[in-house]
Structures are given as C-alpha cells and as structure tokens.
C-alpha cells in the first residue's frame, strides 16, 4: 500500500487547489454554518442544486453520518466536493469509529473518482463538539490505514491555530 503525503495547514479550504475538497456537511446536504456554509457560498448555486438532486434521487432521507457522496465543485478551484456528515457529540454521537468513517469514506471516494489530491477539514471539531486532539488523531489514523490508490496528497486544512497544533501533533512521527 502506497501512503499519500500528509500535511496540515492553516487556511481556507475553499481556496485549496486540489482535486477534491471535503465538506463537513449536515445530513440535509443543503448548506449550513462553518465549513459547510463557506463551501456552499464559494461554490455558488450549482452546488445546492446538485445536492437537491441527490436528495430527490439517491438520498431522500439525507446523507447518513459517516458516509460520503460527491458532487461537482462548481466555482471552487477543485473538481469535486465530497460531502460527509460527522458525528454530533452534543447529540450523543461519540463513537470514534463513526468519525473515522467520515475520513475513510471520503478518501476512498476520492480515490474512486480519480483524485490525486484531497483537502480535508477537521470534521466534527466545530459546532459538533468533538475535541480537537481526538479529531486529529482519529483523522490521521483513519487516513493512514485507508487504501486509496492514486491519491498522492492528503492536506488537512484547519481554520484555527488550535486545530493546526492538534493535527501537527497527530502527524508527528512516534518513537517506537
């Protein structure tokens, strides 16, 4: 298994020049706050139209937590937006396996689409109440253990210095 290069940067995920950008979506797929709202605003009305189409066809009940689905990226500098719904700790969704599934399924989907590079946010670390250090460790472990042929770069794009520090710690080599 070839492991992609992993990096963590402080920045705006909507400006990343990668093949796929991951959206920390809500199950409706119709936009929200935080990363989700920023991606919808930057992508323009075509993104919500794509998401509405998914809701009318494949996902009438919304996107389940931990799953991932792709749309066109429209006005973003990427080719695809991969939407995933993170677990909401405030709603009792505290299983790290559910959080890991978001990263694993997003990476697997990116690979199946032919993406060579992907930008991921800290899914569930915002309004959904997960601890930054836990999200970082779960995300890094999930990405490192997921086979994603063709994906050469995984970039975690974080919106705060606290999250960046957590991801840099999780990415640091361990002394075994």
For the CA atoms of 57, 34, 150, 101, what is the dihedral angle to 10 degrees? -70
Q: Is residue 120, in this structure, part of any structural domain at all?
A: yes
d(Cα 99, Cα 126) in Å, to the nearest integer? 13
165 is catalytic: no
**pLDDT value at residue 173:** 82
What are the beta bridge partners of residue 20?
Answer: 80, 118
- DSSP-assigned letters across all residues of 125-158: SSTT---HHHHHHHHHHHHHTS--TT--EEEEEE
Residue 12 is part of which domain span?
Answer: 5-171
Count of domains for the chain: 1
3-state secondary structure of 23: strand
**pLDDT value at residue 1:** 58
Phi, psi (deg, nearest 5) at residue 132: -55, -45
Inter-residue contact 82 to 39 (CB < 8 Å): no
Catalytic residue among 36, 61, 131, 176: 36
What are the beta bridge partners of residue 156?
Answer: 8, 120
**pLDDT value at residue 89:** 95
User: Residue 45: CB partners within 8 Å, gap ≥ 6?
Assistant: none
Q: Is residue 158, in this structure, part of any structural domain at all?
A: yes
Q: Is residue 33, in this structure, part of any structural domain at all?
A: yes
Q: Is residue 176, in this structure, part of any structural domain at all?
A: no
**pLDDT value at residue 176:** 57
Kindly report the number of other CB atoms within 10 A of residue 134's CB atom. 17
pLDDT in 10s for each residue of the chain, 176 residues = 568 999 999 999 999 999 999 999 999 999 888 899 999 999 999 999 999 999 999 999 999 999 999 999 999 999 999 999 999 999 999 999 999 999 999 999 999 999 999 999 999 998 899 999 999 999 999 999 999 999 999 999 999 999 999 999 999 987 55
**pLDDT value at residue 174:** 72
CATH of the domain at 32: 3.40.220.10
Inter-residue contact 4 to 30 (CB < 8 Å): no
């Amino acid at each position: 298994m070839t492991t992609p290069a992993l990096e963590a940067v402080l920045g705006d995920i909507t400006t990343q020049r990668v093949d796929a950008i991951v959206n920390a979506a809500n199950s409706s797929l119709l936009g929200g706050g935080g990363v989700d709202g920023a991606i919808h605003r930057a992508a323009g009305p075509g993104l919500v139209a794509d998401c509405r189409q998914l809701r009318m066809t494949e996902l009438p009940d919304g996107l389940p937590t931990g799953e991932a689905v792709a749309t066109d990226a429209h006005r973003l500098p990427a080719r695809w937006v991969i939407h995933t719904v993170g677990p909401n700790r405030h709603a009792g969704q505290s299983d790290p396996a559910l959080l890991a599934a978001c990263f694993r399924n997003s990476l697997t989907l990116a690979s199946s689409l032919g993406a060579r590079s992907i930008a991921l946010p800290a899914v569930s670390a915002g309004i959904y109440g997960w601890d930054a250090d836990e999200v970082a460790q779960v995300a890094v472990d999930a990405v490192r253990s997921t086979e994603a042929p063709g994906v050469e770069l995984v970039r975690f794009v974080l919106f705060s210095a606290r999250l960046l520090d957590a991801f840099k710690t999780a990415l640091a080599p361990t002394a075994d």
